[in-house]
């Protein structure tokens, strides 16, 4: 279920799907949070592509020539959840950097064994928290 | 979606277009009208599903059910949720199931109008088919007309069934000429029969066999060569297994039929050999199962009779048994033995796989501890990883961890050796890389007792800081031990300035203790950490009451150190020791405890408030199932569902 409007709004001009160099993929079904993350990361100079769900994220991944430097992925999404999406992406591309975000897992004390090396950021997070988590994940500095 | 997510964090809601059948054999059938999906539930299960009328999460639903004392067995509740989600009775937000449109079927016949004609056709047809002598078709015309008769009978039967379903208020789906059926005939999806009343269901199920019986009977009487195919159709339509409709309607005795949440489990902890054995035992003790087996025997006898009538040597002659008796006995005995052996091997395979999975890590750990400690990488990057994974050092800034990793030294100890560097007045702090260490403390009586066993990942040399009331710990290795040591002076100031006391207590005292007690043995490590964070250590003097019989339970307790006496009405029942827990039955049943617990020797307990425990338990199904299992064992009966007299109201 591709939302063309969303895709085009989140992809900079100059390439068929957006990223020419290192880039970050944001996947969240909540438009306001997705846009906020995009805005925040772009303001730091990173190239950001975004998707509203698993299908669109996989399309973007297939269209890009380079893998993303980082994937920021919501956990609870309709149809395919974030855990399953990241598993599919990891099966396709090894060594992906992922930060999971969710506002519903505060009381939960489990995490899939195969995804335990990825970071988790509980929602709501502060801007500085997100930026610092991204910097730590992709080794600091701007990706562009 | 991940089962963990569904059962702990996903908001679910009851589908808006759910229709409910009336109660039949203790079962209600729920239908998502637009998706044409069905779920068979008990009235109690329906009450649980109704808690999702407003969008709700499973933990909240369970919390409400426990509070209202209407919680089902937890395995059943989780199974119900997953099955309801699969059947689109519960929906995730933003997910719309595919709509299946019902056909605008105009023809209607009341089932009560057709009741007598169908029964007469069925019985008379059956008698005629049994009485007259059908023949195998010998000419092309016989084959053709026989097949045409079968097609026509099947089609007419399905048509009558559809008319009765429609008249009874059900929906007719996908009426079509099915070229791929054997033989091709007019078919209708009759799933909606499940929503009808018992009598209407019987008539719908009887429609096809009655028409087939009539055609087979008349053909056997008038033109025996045409009866063969109708007879085969009749036998197949009356089959006792593989979806036979009439057999499914047999119900004897007062025991209700099983709901969808009580068989064909999809919730992994329910898919256990014990559960299958339990199901089998339930089936064996159920009169309905035996009535269906009886029906199956009758069906087989009828089949043998008809086959015999078509042959020159029927099975009721001695010659037949002389010729074929041994072969038949071998075939039946061999099939039964093969089935039993296959089932046994299948169970053994699953059991051994689960057993091996459970023991694999233990064996690997044992091997590394005793023979493979030298092969563990201890370079700087590995040390950084170990520090990052440590619940204590992981909270420190990365540059500090890097610095510690550089300055750490490796020490190895043989089994049963004292570790003086981290004992009494420790000079070093160490992370256990490999091996087990006994943490011992001197009692006022002068005796030294083991208070904890520490292992890989645990930190030693800080127990006096974490537990200032009880200093004077001594360490002794239980296996070959490898430690990564840092000068304590380098760590102490940083810990005192940056690490909160609660984090220190969690990391040094509570987590290593919880990881080894029976309650937490099967928990996810994160659940252990969370339990440690939620609990607090409470000290009790000798004879202090910890839990009083008949009073409100506000906390759940795990004995951390010492022991405690359990009594009822002033009569001593038992003594409980470190790692034992109590208070959970009152909390889970929302009732008063039926025994008192009194501190005995310097008792220290981990205490977790009621609200926090329920929140923790309902968000972690493995924890909830473990507590339910242990509590049921203690009670001598299932913890859930509650029945009158099972609990004491506070």
Per DSSP, the residues of B275-341 read HHHHHHHHHHT-HHHHHHHHHHHHHHHHHHHHHHHHSSS-TTSHHHHHHHHHHHHHHHHHHHHHHHH
Q: Under a CB-based contact definition with an 8 Å cutoff, are residues A102 and A74 in contact?
A: yes
In this model, does residue B60 exceed pLDDT 50?
Answer: yes
What phi and psi, each to the nearest 5 degrees, are found at residue B472?
90, 45
Going by pLDDT thresholds of 50, 70 and 90, the confidence category of residue B252 is confident
B292-313 mean pLDDT = 88
Smallest CA-to-CA distance from B103 within B30, B190, B31, B37 is with B190
In this model, does residue A19 exceed pLDDT 60?
Answer: no
Residue in chain B lying closest to A136 (CA): B398
Q: Residues 59 to 98 of B: which have CB under 8 A from any A CB?
A: 59, 92-95
ipTM over 0.95: no
Interface contact flag, A110 B92, Cβ < 8 Å: no
Report yes or no: B399 at the A interface, CB cutoff 8 Å. no
Show residues of chain B in contact with A79, CB under 8 Å. Answer: 94-95
Q: What is the pLDDT of residue B646?
A: 61
In this model, does residue A14 exceed pLDDT 50?
Answer: no
Directed axis angle between helix B74-86 and helix B43-50, to 10°? 70
d(CA A144, CA A134): 14
Mutate to test the interface with B, among A110, A115, A116 (most CBs of B within 10 A): A110
Interface contact flag, B10 A76, Cβ < 8 Å: yes
d(CA B165, CA B171): 7
Interface contact flag, B9 A75, Cβ < 8 Å: yes
B417-439 mean pLDDT = 90
Q: Under a CB-based contact definition with an 8 Å cutoff, are residues A58 and A83 in contact?
A: no
Q: Considering only the beta carbons, identify the residue of B94, B95, B524 that sits closest to A110.
A: B524
Interface contact flag, A104 B9, Cβ < 8 Å: yes
Q: Please give the full DSSP string across B159-226, using - where no structure is assigned.
A: HHHHHHHHHTT--BEEEEEETTSSS-EEEEE-GGGGGS-HHHHHHHHHHHHHHHHHHHHHHHHH-GGG
Mutate to test the interface with B, among A83, A108, A113 (most CBs of B within 10 A): A108
Interface contact flag, B1 A81, Cβ < 8 Å: yes
Q: What is the pLDDT of residue B437?
A: 94
Report yes or no: B570 at the A interface, CB cutoff 8 Å. no
Report yes or no: B5 at the A interface, CB cutoff 8 Å. yes
Question: At a CB cut-off of 8 Å and minimum separation 6, what does B96 contact?
Answer: none
d(CA B460, CA B475): 9
Report yes or no: A115 at the B interface, CB cutoff 8 Å. no
Smallest CA-to-CA distance from B288 within B250, B242, B239 is with B250
Q: Under a CB-based contact definition with an 8 Å cutoff, are residues B257 and B251 in contact?
A: yes
Helix (H, G, I), strand (E, B) or coil at B428: strand
Smallest CA-to-CA distance from B584 within B632, B619, B550 is with B632
Report yes or no: A111 at the B interface, CB cutoff 8 Å. yes
Instruction: Tell me what percent of the residues of chain B surpass a pLDDT of 70.
Output: 99
- Residue positions counted in chain A: 144
Report yes or no: A30 at the B interface, CB cutoff 8 Å. no
Interface contact flag, B4 A110, Cβ < 8 Å: yes
Show residues of chain B in contact with A83, CB under 8 Å. Answer: 2, 5
Counting one residue from A and one from B, how many pairs have CB atoms under 8 Å apart?
Answer: 58
Report yes or no: B530 at the A interface, CB cutoff 8 Å. yes
Q: pLDDT tens-digit profile of B515-559?
A: 888 888 878 788 888 899 999 999 999 889 998 887 877 899 999
Going by pLDDT thresholds of 50, 70 and 90, the confidence category of residue B421 is confident
Q: What is the pLDDT of residue A16?
A: 40
How near does any CA of chain B get to the CA of A107, in Å? 6
In this model, does residue B83 exceed pLDDT 90?
Answer: yes
Going by pLDDT thresholds of 50, 70 and 90, the confidence category of residue A144 is very low
Average pLDDT, chain B: 90
Interface contact flag, A104 B59, Cβ < 8 Å: no
Task: Please return the burial class of B6, using the count of CB atoms within 10 Å of its CB with bins 0-12, 13-18 and 19+.
Answer: buried
Helix H or strand E encompassing B401: helix B398-407
Q: How far is CA B423 from the centre of its chain?
A: 46
Going by pLDDT thresholds of 50, 70 and 90, the confidence category of residue B645 is low
How near does any CA of chain B get to the CA of A15, in Å? 32
Helix H or strand E encompassing A90: helix A82-92
Helix H or strand E encompassing B32: strand B28-32
Show residues of chain B in contact with A104, CB under 8 Å. Answer: 9-11, 57
DSSP summary character for residue B27: B
Interface contact flag, B2 A81, Cβ < 8 Å: yes
Sign of the alpha-carbon dihedral angle for B635, B638, B641, B646: negative
d(CA B289, CA B6): 35
Interface contact flag, B5 A110, Cβ < 8 Å: no
Show residues of chain A in contact with B526, CB under 8 Å. Answer: 109-111
Report yes or no: A108 at the B interface, CB cutoff 8 Å. yes
DSSP summary character for residue B414: -
Smallest CA-to-CA distance from B218 within B128, B133, B154 is with B128
DSSP summary character for residue B269: G
Q: What is the pLDDT of residue A48?
A: 93
Report yes or no: B341 at the A interface, CB cutoff 8 Å. no
Q: What is the pLDDT of residue B394?
A: 81
Whole-prediction pTM: 0.83
Show residues of chain A in contact with B94, CB under 8 Å. Answer: 29, 78-79
Smallest CA-to-CA distance from B10 within B46, B53, B55, B47 is with B55
Going by pLDDT thresholds of 50, 70 and 90, the confidence category of residue B650 is very low
- Start-end of H helices in B499-637: 501-505, 511-516, 525-534, 584-589, 610-618, 621-635
Q: Considering only the beta carbons, identify the residue of A76, A79, A109 that sits closest to B5.
A: A76
Paired tokens of B166:
């429609």
Q: Under a CB-based contact definition with an 8 Å cutoff, are residues B415 and B477 in contact?
A: yes
């Amino acid at each position: 279920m591709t939302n063309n409007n969303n895709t085009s709004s989140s992809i900079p001009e100059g390439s068929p799907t957006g990223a020419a160099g290192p880039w970050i993929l944001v996947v969240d079904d909540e438009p306001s949070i997705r846009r906020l993350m995009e805005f925040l990361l772009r303001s730091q100079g990173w190239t950001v592509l975004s998707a509203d769900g698993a299908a669109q994220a996989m399309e973007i991944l297939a269209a890009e020539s380079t893998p993303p430097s980082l994937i920021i992925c919501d956990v609870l999404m309709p149809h395919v959840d974030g855990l399953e999406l990241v598993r599919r992406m990891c099966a396709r591309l090894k060594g992906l950097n992922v930060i999971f975000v969710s506002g519903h897992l505060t009381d939960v004390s489990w995490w899939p064994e195969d995804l335990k090396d990825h970071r988790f950021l509980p929602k709501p997070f502060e801007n500085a928290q997100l930026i610092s988590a991204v910097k730590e994940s992709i080794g600091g500095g701007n990706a562009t | 979606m991940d089962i963990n997510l569904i059962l702990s964090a996903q908001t679910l809601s009851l589908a808006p277009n759910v229709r409910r059948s009336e109660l039949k054999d203790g079962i209600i059938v729920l239908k998502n009208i637009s998706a044409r999906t069905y779920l068979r539930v008990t009235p109690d299960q329906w009450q649980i599903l109704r808690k999702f009328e407003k969008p709700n999460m499973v933990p909240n639903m369970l919390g409400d059910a426990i509070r209202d004392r209407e919680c089902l067995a937890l395995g059943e509740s989780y199974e119900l949720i997953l099955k309801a989600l699969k059947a689109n009775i519960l929906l995730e937000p933003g997910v719309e199931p595919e709509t299946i449109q019902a056909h605008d079927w105009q023809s209607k016949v009341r089932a009560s109008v057709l009741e007598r004609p169908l029964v007469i056709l069925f019985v008379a047809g059956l008698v005629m088919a049994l009485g007259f002598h059908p023949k195998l078709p010998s000419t092309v015309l016989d084959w053709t007309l026989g097949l045409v008769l079968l097609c026509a009978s099947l089609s007419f039967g399905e048509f009558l069934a559809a008319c009765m379903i429609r008249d009874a208020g059900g929906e007719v789906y996908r009426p079509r000429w099915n070229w791929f059926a054997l033989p091709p005939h007019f078919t209708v999806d009759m799933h909606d029969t499940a929503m009808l009343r018992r009598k209407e269901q019987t008539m719908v199920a009887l429609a096809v066999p009655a028409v087939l019986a009539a055609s087979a009977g008349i053909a056997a009487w008038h033109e025996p060569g045409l009866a063969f195919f109708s007879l085969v159709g009749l036998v197949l339509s009356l089959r006792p297994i593989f979806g036979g409709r009439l057999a499914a309607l047999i119900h004897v005795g007062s025991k209700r039929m099983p709901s969808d949440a009580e068989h064909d489990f999809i919730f992994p902890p329910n898919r256990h050999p014990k559960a299958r054995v339990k199901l089998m035992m339930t089936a064996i003790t159920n009169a309905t199962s035996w009535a269906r087996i009886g029906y199956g025997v009758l069906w087989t006898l009828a089949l043998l009779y008809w086959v015999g009538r078509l042959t020159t040597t029927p099975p009721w002659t001695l010659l037949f048994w002389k010729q074929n008796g041994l072969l038949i006995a071998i075939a039946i005995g061999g099939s039964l033995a093969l089935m039993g052996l296959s089932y046994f091997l299948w169970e053994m395979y699953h059991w051994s796989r689960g057993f091996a999975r459970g023991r694999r890590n233990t064996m690997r750990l044992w091997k590394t501890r005793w023979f493979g400690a030298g092969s563990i990488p201890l370079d700087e990057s590995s040390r950084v990883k170990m520090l990052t994974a440590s619940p204590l050092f992981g909270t420190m800034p990365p540059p500090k961890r890097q610095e510690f990793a550089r300055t750490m030294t490796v020490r190895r100890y043989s089994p049963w050796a004292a570790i003086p560097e981290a004992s009494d007045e420790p000079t070093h702090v160490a992370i256990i890389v490999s091996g087990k260490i006994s943490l011992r403390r001197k009692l006022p009586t002068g005796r030294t007792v083991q208070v904890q066993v520490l292992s890989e990942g645990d930190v030693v040399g800080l127990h006096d800081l974490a537990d200032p009331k009880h200093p004077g710990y001594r360490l002794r290795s239980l296996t070959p031990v490898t430690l990564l040591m840092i000068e304590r002076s380098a760590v102490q100031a940083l810990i005192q300035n940056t690490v909160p006391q609660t984090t220190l207590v969690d990391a040094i005292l509570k987590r290593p203790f919880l990881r080894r007690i029976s309650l937490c043995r099967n928990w996810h490590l994160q659940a252990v950490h969370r339990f440690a964070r939620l609990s607090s250590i409470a000290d009790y003097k000798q004879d202090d009451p910890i839990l009083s019989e008949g009073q409100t339970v506000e906390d759940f307790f795990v004995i951390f150190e010492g022991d405690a006496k359990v009594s009822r009405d002033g009569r001593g029942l038992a003594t409980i020791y470190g790692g034992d827990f109590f208070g959970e039955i009152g909390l889970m049943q929302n009732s008063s405890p039926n025994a008192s617990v009194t501190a005995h020797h310097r008792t220290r307990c981990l205490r977790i408030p009621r609200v926090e425990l329920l929140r923790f338990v309902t968000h972690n199904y493995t924890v909830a199932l473990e507590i339910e299992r242990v509590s049921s064992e203690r009670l001598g009966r299932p913890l859930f569902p509650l029945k009158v007299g099972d609990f004491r109201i506070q």
